[in-house]
């Protein structure tokens, strides 16, 4: 047996010992470096993945189609899918094509007004796998609103004698209804795709219309809050918004940012003035037209009339309600007491309501009618033209109207323009404007931002002057952290 040569081993060992030490050292250092680089890479990835990317696909500095896209790591959310109901056909839709290659796992609808909902069927064509989240009341109202939108588009096309090209089909709306997932206020839920995400959502009462929600988004330690449309103080039915404090990033509407007057108006004074105006017209034997949006304003005004008549502050005359407002009243009565247990579920039904087509229509009376902006060929437009011929009549303007619409012309009060727009020779009736908004005035917006106390505030849903005023004021008061007016269709990265 060959004798084992230890010296060789020894030598070998001795020979290699320094190299071996260096080798081991290198190995250890290498592993350490690899670990450090892995940690750095992971940290960078985590850092990148904690970034929130934002892009507005709809309008920012005007009231039109609202739609915001958020990219949270591998997940994507759409906040609202609005249409501009008065826009020129399809040009009023958000630019979904801009994010065609991006993930969209969920579409969150804040409320059922068309400027936040109207293009949802179009969005689903682009992102068929997205889940749709909203409150139960918004789900109920969305059905009516989407079918109504189709009808209006059809009517418009017929009036223009064009071949009707529907923005989407009624079958698409029917299919969509099955995709709604609804959650109550202050009930957190997770966004799901094929897997569960790390995104937690909570709806908060926005106080704007029935079912309207502010959306709180929590993701990897970050908190993003989108107000939707919001009213901080109470209306005649709805209580004011109830939002959580301390979100890191806030995306807020600023509709009344440039309206100084609105902040000084006292609700009770306005109610009294409104009651007096109606009473005076009725006492002269006239009728009063109140043009309103079917969803929200109609119900609030009906409730106010109910109270004023109940307290004998307005004579008990018939109240005529036209159009879609009747359907929406039923949903308010059915669902409101679930949100506000003290709400009498029959309140809106107790008002004498009839249609103008009825043979029983008589004066003195009150007519609550759509459209709120008195668009041509709507009932409020036609009734206004007729009512303006009689000095005993009155028209009470109670909501916002785009200056370019007939309602806007009435608000501006320029007689020649009114005659031209409504195609009439004389304006004899009384016309008064009242402030009963479903949006927060600017002082309330500032208070809300103070409460939410964000590090970054992004402003949207307001005319350019409104956004600029809010930005300036927030900076002056040192509120809202860094204030941004996003540019439409331009990506913003919000680093984590």
Q: How far apart are CA 165 and CA 405, in angstroms?
A: 24
Calculate helix-pair angle for 442-452, 464-477, nearest 10 degrees.
50
Closest approach, Cβ 109 to Zn ion, in A, equals 11
Q: Is 322 in the site for Zn ion (CB under 5 A)?
A: no
The residue range among 39-47, 84-92, 107-115, 473-481 that interacts with Zn ion, by the rule CB under 5 A, is 107-115
Closest to Zn ion by CB, 113 or 441: 113
| Pair of tokens at residue 473 | 């004021």
Closest approach, Cβ 458 to Zn ion, in A, equals 18
x/- map, 170-209, Zn ion, by CB under 5 A: ----------------------------------------
Closest approach, Cβ 311 to Zn ion, in A, equals 29
Closest approach, Cβ 135 to Zn ion, in A, equals 14
Closest approach, Cβ 80 to Zn ion, in A, equals 10
The residue range among 106-114, 264-272, 351-359, 380-388 that interacts with Zn ion, by the rule CB under 5 A, is 106-114
Closest to Zn ion by CB, 71 or 113: 113
Residue-by-residue DSSP string for 294-352:
TTTHHHHHHHHHHHHHHTTSS----EEE-TTHHHHHHHHHHHHHHHSTTS-TTTGGGS-
Q: Kindly identify the residues of this chain, within the stretch 228-267, that bind Zn ion according to CB under 5 A.
A: 229
Helix ranges restricted to H, 353-441: 379-387, 406-412, 415-422
Closest to Zn ion by CB, 319 or 324: 324
Closest to Zn ion by CB, 278 or 467: 467
Name the closest residue to Zn ion (Cβ).
113
Q: Find where tokens 């099955």 sit.
A: 178
Angle at 300 between CA 354 and CA 335, to 5 degrees: 85
What phi and psi values does residue 472 have, to the nearest 5 degrees? -60, -45
Q: How far apart are CA 452 and CA 345, in angstroms?
A: 33
Q: How far apart are CA 166 and CA 145, in angstroms?
A: 15
| Pair of tokens at residue 447 | 């208070």
Report the candidate in 144, 150, 195 with the shortest Cα–Cα distance to residue 169: 150
Q: How far apart are CA 229 and CA 242, in angstroms?
A: 13
x/- map, 109-128, Zn ion, by CB under 5 A: ----x---------------
Closest approach, Cβ 208 to Zn ion, in A, equals 6
Q: Find where tokens 């909501």 sit.
A: 399
Closest approach, Cβ 433 to Zn ion, in A, equals 20
- How many residues contact Zn ion, by CB under 5 A? 2
Sequence-ordered list of residues with C-beta below 8 angstroms from that of 266, at least 6 positions apart, any chain: none
Closest approach, Cβ 274 to Zn ion, in A, equals 22
Q: What is the CB neighbour count within 10 angstroms for residue 473? A: 18
x/- map, 216-235, Zn ion, by CB under 5 A: -------------x------
Residues 395, 400, 406, 412, Cα dihedral to 10°:
80
Closest to Zn ion by CB, 348 or 438: 438
Closest to Zn ion by CB, 400 or 469: 400
Closest to Zn ion by CB, 257 or 364: 257
Q: How far apart are CA 108 and CA 166, in angstroms?
A: 24
| Pair of tokens at residue 269 | 């004074």
| Pair of tokens at residue 456 | 């970054």
Q: Give 16-63 as a 3 state SS string.
A: HHHHHHHHHHHHHHHHHHHHHHHHHHHHHHHHHHHCEEEEECCCCCCC
x/- map, 364-393, Zn ion, by CB under 5 A: ------------------------------
Closest to Zn ion by CB, 233 or 453: 233
Closest approach, Cβ 111 to Zn ion, in A, equals 6
Closest approach, Cβ 204 to Zn ion, in A, equals 16
Closest approach, Cβ 348 to Zn ion, in A, equals 19
Closest approach, Cβ 370 to Zn ion, in A, equals 15
Closest to Zn ion by CB, 112 or 474: 112
Closest to Zn ion by CB, 153 or 229: 229
Closest to Zn ion by CB, 327 or 453: 327
Closest to Zn ion by CB, 76 or 462: 462
Closest approach, Cβ 50 to Zn ion, in A, equals 32
Closest to Zn ion by CB, 227 or 380: 227
What phi and psi values does residue 456 have, to the nearest 5 degrees? -140, 135
Residue 133 β-bridge partners: 108, 181
The residue range among 105-113, 402-410, 444-452, 478-486 that interacts with Zn ion, by the rule CB under 5 A, is 105-113
Pairing mode, strands 319-321 and 287-291 = unpaired
* Binding residues vs Zn ion (CB under 5 A): 113, 229
């Amino acid at each position: 047996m060959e004798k084992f040569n230890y010296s060789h081993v020894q030598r070998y060992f001795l020979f290699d010992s320094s190299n071996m030490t260096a080798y081991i050292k290198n190995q250890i250092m290498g592993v350490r470096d690899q670990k450090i680089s892995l940690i750095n890479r992971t940290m960078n990835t985590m850092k990148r993945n904690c970034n929130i990317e934002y892009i507005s696909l709809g309008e920012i500095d005007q009231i039109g189609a609202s739609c915001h896209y958020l990219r949270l790591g591998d997940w994507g959310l759409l906040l609202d899918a609005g249409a501009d109901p008065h826009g020129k056909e399809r040009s009023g839709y958000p630019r979904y094509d801009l994010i065609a290659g991006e993930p969209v796992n969920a579409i969150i609808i804040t409320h059922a007004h068309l400027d936040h909902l109207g293009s949802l069927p179009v969005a689903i064509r682009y992102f068929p796998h997205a889940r749709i989240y909203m409150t139960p009341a918004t789900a109920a109202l969305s059905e009516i609103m989407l079918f109504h939108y189709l009808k209006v588009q059809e009517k418009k096309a017929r009036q223009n004698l064009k071949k009707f090209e529907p923005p989407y089909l009624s079958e698409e709306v029917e299919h969509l209804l099955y995709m709604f997932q609804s959650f109550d206020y202050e009930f957190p839920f997770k966004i799901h795709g094929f897997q569960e995400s790390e995104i937690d959502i909570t709806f908060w009462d926005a106080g704007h219309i029935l079912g309207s929600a502010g959306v709180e988004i929590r993701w990897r330690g970050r908190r993003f809050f989108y107000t939707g449309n919001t009213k901080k103080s109470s209306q005649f039915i709805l209580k004011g918004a109830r939002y959580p404090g301390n979100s890191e990033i806030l995306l807020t509407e600023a509709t009344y940012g440039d309206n100084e007057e609105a902040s000084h108006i006292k609700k009770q004074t306005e109610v009294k003035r409104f009651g007096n105006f109606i009473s005076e017209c009725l006492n002269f034997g006239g009728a009063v037209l109140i043009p309103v949006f079917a969803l929200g304003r109609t119900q609030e005004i009906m409730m106010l009339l109910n109270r004023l008549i109940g307290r004998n502050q307005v004579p008990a005359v018939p109240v005529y309600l036209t159009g879609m407002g009747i359907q929406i009243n039923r949903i308010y009565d059915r669902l409101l007491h679930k949100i506000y247990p003290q709400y009498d579920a029959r309140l809106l039904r107790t008002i004498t309501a009839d249609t103008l087509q009825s043979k029983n229509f008589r004066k003195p009376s009150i007519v609550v009618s759509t459209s709120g902006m008195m668009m041509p060929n709507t009932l409020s437009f036609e009734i206004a033209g007729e009512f303006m011929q009689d000095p005993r009549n009155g028209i009470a303007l109670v909501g916002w109207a785009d200056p370019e619409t007939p309602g806007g012309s009435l608000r501006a009060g320029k007689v020649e323009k009114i005659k031209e727009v409504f195609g009439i020779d004389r304006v004899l009736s009384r016309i008064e404007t009242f402030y009963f908004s479903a949006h927060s005035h600017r002082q309330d917006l500032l208070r809300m931002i103070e409460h939410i106390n964000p590090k970054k505030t992004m402003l949207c849903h307001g005319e350019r002057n409104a956004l600029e005023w809010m930005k300036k004021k927030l900076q002056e008061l040192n509120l809202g952290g860094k204030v941004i007016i996003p540019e439409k269709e331009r990506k913003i990265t919000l680093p984590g």
